[in-house]
Chain A
């Protein structure tokens, strides 16, 4: 009767079954629940809820959707209801067929049913049918995706047992983003963290990784794969011990022949980060305890700052605050002559009118692109580099090329619901 009520209460129309699916939900935060009368007899309830939390999280990591488990609201308010059953089940009009063949199905209204005659298993549990894979697939249907007959797609109708890594590939990501849009949002800072590492053979090599930080979370961005690390975002304190839990204003890595120092800035304070031991220093060589005041460590630089980056070309740290830029000479430990300057004087627009005009979110020197980017909101401006100026002499020094969208250059950097941050 509950199912009939749900059917009756919602007017329906035959949907345009376009090849790419349809946008099943218009809101971005969706509630889900493993219904009480639909627990599996094969896994503990906690295992089932954990697997579903992970499945929803995987979709949240590649789309602007967020999912929250809701065990209290009335069932009609729950967007996606999951349950196990066998044969005739849960008031559904498509009976299950027993072990083998059909293992689950999903319905427009957001109901997902799993055939409890199947041998569902937890991730990495070897034989049996991975409940995680099936759940991710069926959630894809509820979100509006059809079957996709493409090797590697999560939306293939048949179950694929042997896969080393079960993650959403580029095409599946674009398929869901085609329905719900890309992931946009401001960042507190973006930087490449460079460090020395010893190879198993004892060689010292230089490695770098790219990090995007937003409030108390961060993503490692894998440039060669055009995506974030699987499983991100993660809470700051997990990877950056001692850094303010709720986020930073900037991170600067002063890396030259003489210096190798990473600084985090937040408000009026800054911390130096110990890359060797992966945590903030408690004090500097002169015994000053961290965090220190920016005004002491970087005389002439105001605080709080909007952001900052280190330019290896001239060994200056460029601090940004509102419309002004403060170039700080690291060697001289003082502001460079003539600064502060207006941001348009330091970074003139190549195309007039196309300029962030201050209050930028992040300034990022990318070792992958060997270029500087200024990020503001969902846009970024690339700074003209020396190579560009060799080819186009008319380009002004440090000119800003026309803006582009952040999510069209660094892909799939998506939030998850705060409750889903930790599984």
Chain B
């Protein structure tokens, strides 16, 4: 702590109690990979909407109902995994998912949960899975590889060599 602070304590960094769980081991890495669509989670429930009318399987309603109540009161629990299912570690599926993640993230493709991969997994990122998941369907797309666009070097265009246009400054 600094000896002297601003009069209004604006320089005091309040320790934010809500810190994201750091991904440090294979289990959490698997959660990350399945959550973002790099590997198929084994036993998430599959909930489908039907085209003509909207019907739900019973579990969905219960889960959602629980969600609504929970949101109101249950404090953020840190230690136990949020839901009571376990994801079995299939080393092959895990390794190939790791390779996929490493490849699209521009990391050395080792298939091993190494330091560089750990750092990449802990970076701030968007919460939308890399293979887009239907709103409440928990099953990632069949093709576990990220179905993102990996751009092959498309056409290039002239880079602007003249002075930066004033719009950039203005924006």
User: In chain A, what residue has the closest Cβ to B75?
Assistant: A87
Chain B residues with CB below 8 A from A171, complex form: 151, 154
Asked if A225 meets B157 with Cβ closer than 8 Å, knowing A103-B125, A109-B135, A150-B150, the reply is: yes
User: In chain B, what residue has the closest Cβ to A159?
Assistant: B124
Chain A residues with CB below 8 A from B122, complex form: 100-101
The answer, yes or no, to whether B11 is at the interface (CB within 8 Å) is: no
Asked if A94 meets B127 with Cβ closer than 8 Å, knowing A1-B68, A102-B20, A229-B165, the reply is: yes
User: In chain A, what residue has the closest Cβ to B71?
Assistant: A88
User: In chain B, what residue has the closest Cβ to A113?
Assistant: B127
A105 near B127: Cβ-Cβ < 8 Å: yes
The answer, yes or no, to whether A247 is at the interface (CB within 8 Å) is: no
Tally of A interface residues using CB under 8 Å: 68
Chain B residues with CB below 8 A from A229, complex form: 165-167
A7 to chain B, nearest CB (A): 7
The answer, yes or no, to whether A198 is at the interface (CB within 8 Å) is: no
Tally of B interface residues using CB under 8 Å: 62
0/1 per residue, B134-160, Cβ < 8 Å to A? 111100010000111111001101111
Q: Which secondary structure dominates where chain A touches chain B?
A: loop
Chain A residues with CB below 8 A from B23, complex form: 101
Chain A residues with CB below 8 A from B64, complex form: 4, 93
Q: Which secondary structure dominates where chain B touches chain A?
A: loop
A106 near B128: Cβ-Cβ < 8 Å: yes
User: In chain B, what residue has the closest Cβ to A108?
Assistant: B135
Chain B residues with CB below 8 A from A230, complex form: 165, 167-168, 171
A146 near B149: Cβ-Cβ < 8 Å: yes
A111 to chain B, nearest CB (A): 9
B22 near A100: Cβ-Cβ < 8 Å: yes
B162 to chain A, nearest CB (A): 7
Chain A residues with CB below 8 A from B130, complex form: 146-147, 157
The answer, yes or no, to whether B84 is at the interface (CB within 8 Å) is: no
Q: Can you name 8 A-B pairs with beta carbons within 8 Å?
A: A93-B67, A103-B125, A105-B126, A105-B127, A138-B126, A220-B165, A225-B158, A225-B160
Name 16 extra pairs, CB < 8 A, besides A12-B134, A93-B63, A138-B126.
Answer: A11-B54, A14-B48, A17-B131, A93-B64, A98-B19, A101-B23, A103-B125, A104-B127, A117-B18, A147-B148, A151-B106, A158-B120, A159-B126, A165-B168, A224-B158, A230-B167
